[in-house]
């Protein structure tokens, strides 16, 4: 009886193993098909770009409009190429433990690196004895050289990694050190160059076609497809760090949330997509957790997106009064409703626009400006509450709560009574009635900070995180595709988190890209910005 049960259990385990193997093969095949489709899209985009360039070279007019159209097509091709490279890496990873043949993209033969660049030889030391038989009678047969394009600020160089070959005089076994690790497949670029490429594109908002032109002026000609290929490969390599940052952010008790527009290239126009951010910043209430931020992209601003982003998170959400967040505060939400905290800076801004002379002059133009005395008084009252907050910023949550109960509760109550009294005297068409209604309709969410010391008075942490996107829109004009928007959100998460922890994003990316493939999975957290120590400093400490 016991043997029969054991046999049945073993058979069930074997069946589960076979099912798991079959599922892995299906997943690998799906990843392979996805990579093939992405490769075909990239090829199609390249052919369209080449055709348009030839057509304009033969028949087109030399105008700024023509150059802008070519730039648009180059940006679309850049996104397709990066997506294809990224899918190729994921397909290779999925096929590693299965019988599915990995997909490898066909690429044109690359040009050799420029001869005028200085060469730096890095020789991997040969073994002192034959690893096969232990003999020390080794003679050099030759060497293999791997050239990697690397960059020093304002100076280019090619690093030659030499792997010498030796043969044993006794057993004639050939010995050679293993090939060095490269950040991306085919290993043409070093980590410092890749970090510069990524930061210039996503941190300094310089599209790849502009970077390509700048490199060409410096004597290094690189194709747009090559640069986009490296962006996609780096995105796949850095994915584990993004997952760790995301888990850290969603482990917070309180988050700042906000979103901003991002134009997305469409067939005949640009659509308006959204970039969402969620920032963890515990420093205002003395929390020990390091700050971090994650970004998400969506094609529209429907409320289903923040619901999906925070589907398993519970805590305090500080945001504006956007109705799309309302589903997160419902009592029947699973696992639990979020606590709503609104931003006093938003409310103050509406009053300030009615109290600011310059703003009124811009809005009314030829008409005489109208300054609302109620708006002026509201700004003064809100500023007094902010003054109290500045004095307790950085203290523990309990200390902040006690100070608010002592100093802020009465000014807030007086403000509410004053707003309700003035609102009863205003007509619906009064300009100042709208900001008053904005506050009074959600007054419990505005006053939530009086009951919880962790809540901030403003949502400025999220707005600061989105400031770079607002500046970048003037430079890169639009995202090339939905995949491009998602990739932008991915890289902004890494760069913004590094900045929040006072870490140079480019230096951090260069060090991480050089170490991430060789570091054990259990030590990946050491590469996070708040734990990061450059490899050089670690070697000196050792």
- Cα–Cα distance between 234 and 198 in angstroms, integer? 8
pLDDT digit string, tens, across residues 294-341: 999 998 899 999 999 999 999 999 999 899 999 999 999 999 999 999
pLDDT digit string, tens, across residues 353-377: 887 766 666 665 556 566 778 988 9
Tell which residue, 284, 338, 250, 336, has the closest CA to residue 454.
284
Return the pLDDT at 63. Answer: 45
Percentage, residues of the chain above pLDDT 70: 88
Q: Which of 42-51, 163-172, 358-367, 381-390 has the lowest mean pLDDT?
A: 358-367
Residue 152 in tokens:
């020093």
Neighbouring C-alpha atoms within 13 Å toward the C-beta of 98: 24
Tell which residue, 343, 260, 255, 246, has the closest CA to residue 301.
260
Return the pLDDT at 536. Answer: 60
- Cα–Cα distance between 265 and 455 in angstroms, integer? 38
Q: In which region does residue 142 sit, left (phi positive, over 0), alpha (psi from -120 to 50) or beta (all else)?
A: left
Neighbouring C-alpha atoms within 13 Å toward the C-beta of 94: 23
Q: What is the SS3 assignment for 318?
A: strand
State the residue for tokens 């500080």. Answer: 318
43 membership: H or E segment, kind and range:
helix 2-59
pLDDT band (50, 70, 90) for residue 479: low
pLDDT digit string, tens, across residues 516-537: 888 888 899 999 999 998 866 6
Q: Which of 11-15, 138-142, 258-262 has the lowest mean pLDDT?
A: 11-15
Q: What is the SS3 assignment for 300?
A: coil
Other CB atoms within 10 A of residue 55 CB: 10
**Mean pLDDT score, 110-131:** 86
Return the pLDDT at 34. Answer: 84
Q: Is 441 exposed, middle or buried (0-12, 13-18, 19+ CB in 10 A)?
A: exposed
Judge if the upstream peptide bond of residue 335 is cis by omega within 30 degrees of 0.
Answer: yes
Return the pLDDT at 286. Answer: 86
pLDDT digit string, tens, across residues 267-307: 667 778 899 999 999 998 888 899 999 999 998 899 999 99
What radius of gyration do the chain's Cα atoms show?
A: 29
Other CB atoms within 10 A of residue 359 CB: 14
Q: What is the DSSP secondary structure assignment for residue 1, as one 8-state letter?
A: -
Q: Which of 78-82, 109-113, 230-234, 490-494 has the highest mean pLDDT?
A: 490-494
- Cα–Cα distance between 328 and 378 in angstroms, integer? 30
- Cα–Cα distance between 529 and 360 in angstroms, integer? 44
**Mean pLDDT score, 176-198:** 84
Is residue 2's pLDDT more than 70?
A: no
- Cα–Cα distance between 132 and 525 in angstroms, integer? 37
Q: Which residues contact 382 (CB under 8 A, 6 or more apart)?
A: 344, 347, 348, 351, 415
Secondary structure (DSSP) of 177-236: PPPPP-SSTT--B-HHHHHHHHIIIIIS---HHHHHHHHHHTT----HHHHHHHHHHHHH
Other CB atoms within 10 A of residue 160 CB: 16
Other CB atoms within 10 A of residue 228 CB: 28
- Cα–Cα distance between 339 and 281 in angstroms, integer? 17
The pairing of beta strand 155-168 with beta strand 119-124: parallel
Return the pLDDT at 268. Answer: 66
- Cα–Cα distance between 106 and 448 in angstroms, integer? 58
- Cα–Cα distance between 324 and 302 in angstroms, integer? 6
Is residue 394's pLDDT more than 50?
A: yes
437 phi, psi to nearest 5 deg: -65, -35
Is residue 474's pLDDT more than 90?
A: no
As beta bridge partners, residue 318 has 256, 341
Q: What is the SS3 assignment for 317?
A: strand
- Planar angle of CA 372, 374, 379, nearest 5 degrees: 100
- Going 100 to 104 to 105 to 106, the CA torsion angle's sign is negative
Judge if the upstream peptide bond of residue 337 is cis by omega within 30 degrees of 0.
Answer: no
């Amino acid at each position: 009886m016991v043997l029969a049960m054991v046999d049945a259990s073993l058979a069930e385990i074997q069946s589960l193993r076979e099912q798991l193997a079959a599922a892995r093969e299906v997943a690998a095949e799906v990843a392979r098909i996805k990579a093939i489709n992405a490769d075909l899209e990239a090829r199609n985009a390249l052919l369209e770009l080449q055709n348009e360039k030839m057509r304009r070279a033969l028949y087109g007019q030399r105008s700024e409009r023509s150059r802008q159209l070519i730039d648009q097509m180059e940006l679309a091709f850049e996104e397709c190429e990066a997506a294809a490279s990224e899918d190729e890496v994921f397909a290779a990873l999925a096929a590693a433990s299965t019988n599915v043949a990995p997909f490898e993209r066909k690429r044109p033969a690359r040009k050799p690196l420029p001869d005028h660049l200085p060469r730096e030889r890095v020789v991997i030391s040969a073994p002192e004895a034959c690893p096969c038989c232990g003999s020390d009678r080794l003679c050099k047969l030759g060497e293999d050289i791997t050239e990697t394009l690397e960059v020093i600020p304002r100076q280019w160089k090619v690093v030659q990694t030499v792997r010498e070959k030796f043969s044993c005089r006794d057993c004639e076994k050939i010995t050679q050190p293993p090939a060095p690790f490269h950040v991306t497949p085919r290993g043409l670029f070093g980590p410092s160059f890749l970090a510069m490429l990524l930061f210039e594109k996503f941190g300094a908002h310089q599209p790849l076609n502009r970077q390509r032109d700048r490199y060409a002026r410096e004597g290094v000609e690189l194709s747009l497809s090559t640069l986009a290929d490296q962006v996609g490969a780096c995105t796949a390599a850095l994915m584990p760090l993004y997952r760790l940052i995301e888990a850290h952010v969603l482990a917070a008790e309180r988050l700042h949330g906000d979103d901003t527009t991002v134009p997305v290239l469409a067939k005949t126009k640009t659509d308006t997509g959204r970039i969402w951010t969620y920032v963890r910043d515990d420093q205002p209430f003395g929390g020990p957790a390091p700050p971090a931020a994650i970004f998400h992209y969506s094609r529209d601003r429907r409320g289903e997106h923040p619901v999906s982003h925070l589907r398993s998170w519970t805590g305090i959400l500080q945001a504006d009064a956007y109705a799309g967040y309302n589903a997160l505060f419902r009592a029947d939400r699973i696992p639990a409703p979020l606590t709503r905290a609104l931003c006093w800076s938003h409310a103050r801004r509406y009053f300030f626009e009615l109290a600011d002379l310059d703003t009124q002059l811009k809005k009314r133009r030829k008409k005489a400006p109208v300054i609302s005395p109620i708006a002026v008084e509201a700004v003064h009252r809100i500023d007094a509450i902010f003054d109290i907050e500045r004095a307790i910023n950085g203290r523990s949550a309990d200390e902040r709560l006690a100070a608010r109960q002592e100093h802020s509760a009465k000014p807030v109550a007086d403000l509410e009574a004053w707003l309700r009294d003035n609102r009863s005297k205003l007509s619906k068409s009064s300009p100042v009635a709208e900001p008053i209604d904005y506050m009074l309709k959600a007054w419990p969410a505005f006053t939530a900070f009086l009951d919880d010391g962790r809540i901030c008075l403003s949502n400025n942490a999220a707005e600061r995180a989105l400031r770079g996107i607002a500046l970048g829109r003037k430079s890169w004009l639009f995202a090339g595709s939905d995949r491009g928007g998602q990739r932008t959100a991915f890289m902004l998460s890494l760069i913004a988190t590094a900045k929040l922890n006072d870490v140079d994003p480019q230096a951090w990316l260069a060090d991480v890209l050089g170490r991430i493939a060789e570091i054990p999975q259990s030590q990946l957290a050491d590469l996070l910005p708040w734990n990061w120590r450059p490899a050089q400093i670690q070697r000196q400490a050792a």
